[in-house]
Amino acid sequence: MLKLDLQFFAQKKGVGSTKNGRDSIAKRLGPKRADGQHVTGGSILVRQRGTSIYPGENVGKGGDDTLFSKVDGVVRFERVGKKRKQVSVYANESKQVQEA
């Protein structure tokens, strides 16, 4: 009589399902220019959801609450009262034209 003790096992472990493992991409929100930095007209200053920072002088607000510069100038982040923050752009008054 021939006795064989053979056992066959799976070569790969079975993989279970999971409900995790996905996430939305980051929206890159926040300030894009620093206080005292020179900007051109149309430059994006702050990307935000809602108005956590309000538009000040020479700053416009887009449909998605993005704050942008209306003129060339210098960015200033300011506090109005105790809670409200705003960003303004002050135009360069003393532009020196260099002639070559």
pLDDT-derived band at 93 (thresholds 50, 70, 90) equals: low
Across the beta sheet with 73-80, what order do the strands follow?
38-39, 73-80, 84-91, 54-55
pTM: predicted TM-score of the whole model, two decimal places: 0.73
pLDDT at 98 over 50: no
Q: Residue 91 pLDDT > 80, yes or no?
A: yes
Q: Determine the Cα angle at 61 with ends 53 and 79, to 5°.
A: 25
Cβ proximity of 43 and 69 under 8 Å? yes
Is the per-residue pLDDT at 99 higher than 70?
Answer: no
pLDDT tops 70 at residue 49: yes
Q: What domains can be seen in the chain, in order of their start residue?
A: 30-91 (2.40.50.100)
Q: How many whole angstroms from its chain centre is CA 39?
A: 18
Write the pLDDT tens digit of every residue in 16-48.
Answer: 888 888 999 999 999 999 999 999 999 999 999
Residue 96 confidence (pLDDT) above 50: no
